[in-house]
Amino acid sequence: MEATMLPEVTAGGVIIKAVLILAVISAIAGFGTYIERKVLAFMQRRLGPQHVGPYGLLQIIADGIKLFTKEDIIPQHANKLVFAVAPAITAATAFIALAAVPVFPDFTIPEWIPVLGGIFVPSIASDVNVGILFVLGMMAAGLYGPLLAGMAQANKWGILGSARTAIQFLSYEVVTGLSILAPIMMVGSLSFVDFNDGYNDNGLWLIVYQPVAFVLFLIAGYAETNRTPFDLLEHEAEIISGYVTEYSGMRWGMFFIGEYANMITIGVIASVVFLGGYNDFWIIPGWLMIIGKIAFMFFLMLWVRASWPHVRPDQLMWLCWKVLMPVAVINVVITGIVMMV
């Protein structure tokens, strides 16, 4: 329907978009590590990275050089193929998930640029009509990374890590689906664009109608991105580094980038679905709003990490199956009843 107003989305545009996402999100993921270290440090009244560049801003470059130049070690008894593929799964699925998420506004490359001039670059790499399902499914598939990595490396900490991955996978996946179901029922679509436009119809952020679903989604999202209250997979104090124990250098870095890309994805989904998306708010333009919301969701993850202790695996299962799932089901039922009446 929008094709009349917008220029044609060409293959070239999509490819440029994909490259953009890859470049920008990798950079942001790297920058995210810097932000995380700084914020955590401030919350503990420390300074954080300080010496590389002004305010330690170039720390990510130093880290990048370190990661790239480190020796790539594959342990002796590891299953070499799986060991090598696992990090790629995490990183790749994280970026594939981002393909269906609106990341930046549309723009057209100016004509004066030699080869690429005039190509229209869409906001979403591929606006599939089951966007939410696709993204959640991709992020869930990303858990194969830790699972395989832990099992491939012939290391008991790795095995424990992948066992915990399985636990985590079994726990939150139900809650994610059920929590997002109620908003889907209200909007009646699975496309992110419809969620975004739903705001215009109602005039209120979806979080006002669905606070319970928002909280549930956040909890499940933290479990999905393996963030602190649920960072069971690689909790240092218990299982060394879990599934990344044997990884070093760039392979480890790919897990890391995948994790941060997933954090951004969760932030985007939460902002678009629950917090009104990239609509203008009062006098603030939409692109600034969406950046602000994503930044806040990201900050919230760091904030939570600084504040809260993490739970045991059995507590996670208990929480997800005995508390969150019933709450989510009740929420869906109530939403349904209210919509029917």
Partner 1 sequence: MGLEQFKDRRVGTQNYKKLDLDHAPNCGWCQFKQVVSRTFKPELFVGLWVTFREMINALFRGQMHTTQYPLEKLPISPRYRAIHDMLRLLESGHYRCIGCGLCEKICISNCIAMETRYDENQRKEVSEYTINFGRCIFCGYCAEVCPELAIVHGQRYETASEQRASFSLFEDMLTPIDKLNLQKEYDGFGAVSPNADENIKKTPLAY
**8 or 45: whose CB is closer to partner 1?**
45
> What residues between 288 and 317 interact with partner 1 by CB under 8 A?
303-304, 306-308
Give 295-307 as a DSSP string. Answer: HHHHHHHHHHHHH
76 lies in the site for partner 1, by CB under 8 A: no
**108 or 307: whose CB is closer to partner 1?**
307
Determine the interface stretch with partner 1 among 8-16, 42-50, 159-167, 279-287 (rule: CB under 8 A).
Answer: 42-50
Angle between helices 11-43 and 286-307 (to 10 degrees): 40
338 lies in the site for partner 1, by CB under 8 A: no
**240 or 300: whose CB is closer to partner 1?**
300
42 lies in the site for partner 1, by CB under 8 A: yes
Q: How far apart are CA 1 and CA 16, in angstroms?
A: 23
Determine the interface stretch with partner 1 among 38-46, 88-96, 175-183, 193-201 (rule: CB under 8 A).
Answer: 38-46
**45 or 76: whose CB is closer to partner 1?**
45
- Tokens at residue 10, please? 């060409």
4 lies in the site for partner 1, by CB under 8 A: no
Q: How far apart are CA 313 and CA 322, in angstroms?
A: 14
**156 or 322: whose CB is closer to partner 1?**
322
Beta strands in the chain (DSSP E): 107-108, 120-121
Which residue type sits at 328? A
Q: How far is the CB of 305 from partner 1 (least distance, A)?
A: 9
43 lies in the site for partner 1, by CB under 8 A: yes
Q: How far is the CB of 309 from partner 1 (least distance, A)?
A: 9
Half-sphere exposure of 275 (CA within 13 A, CB side): 20
**163 or 218: whose CB is closer to partner 1?**
218
**Which of 50, 129, 200, 315 forms a contact with partner 1 (CB under 8 A)?**
50
44 lies in the site for partner 1, by CB under 8 A: yes
**Which of 15, 47, 65, 338 forms a contact with partner 1 (CB under 8 A)?**
47
Determine the interface stretch with partner 1 among 44-52, 85-93, 115-123, 262-270 (rule: CB under 8 A).
Answer: 44-52
Q: How far apart are CA 330 and CA 130, in angstroms?
A: 24
Q: How far apart are CA 56 and CA 339, in angstroms?
A: 52
46 lies in the site for partner 1, by CB under 8 A: yes
**Which of 14, 28, 39, 163 forms a contact with partner 1 (CB under 8 A)?**
39
Radius of gyration of the CA atoms of the chain, in A: 21
- Where is 150: in which H helix or E strand? helix 144-152
**In sequence order, what are the residues at sequence separation of 6 or more whose Cβ sits closer than 8 angstroms to the Cβ of residue 22?**
95
Nearest to 82 by CA among 151, 165, 139: 151
- Where is 180: in which H helix or E strand? helix 156-187
Instruction: Tell me the three state secondary structure of residue 284.
Output: strand
Q: How far is the CB of 80 from partner 1 (least distance, A)?
A: 43
Nearest to 74 by CA among 259, 252, 258: 252
- Tokens at residue 211, please? 């606070």
Q: How far apart are CA 95 and CA 264, in angstroms?
A: 10
User: Contacts with partner 1: how many residues (CB under 8 A)?
Assistant: 14
Q: How far is the CB of 324 from partner 1 (least distance, A)?
A: 11
**Which of 323, 329, 334, 338 forms a contact with partner 1 (CB under 8 A)?**
323
**82 or 300: whose CB is closer to partner 1?**
300
Q: How far is the CB of 302 from partner 1 (least distance, A)?
A: 10
Q: Give residues in contact with partner 1 (CB under 8 A).
A: 39, 42-47, 50, 303-304, 306-308, 323
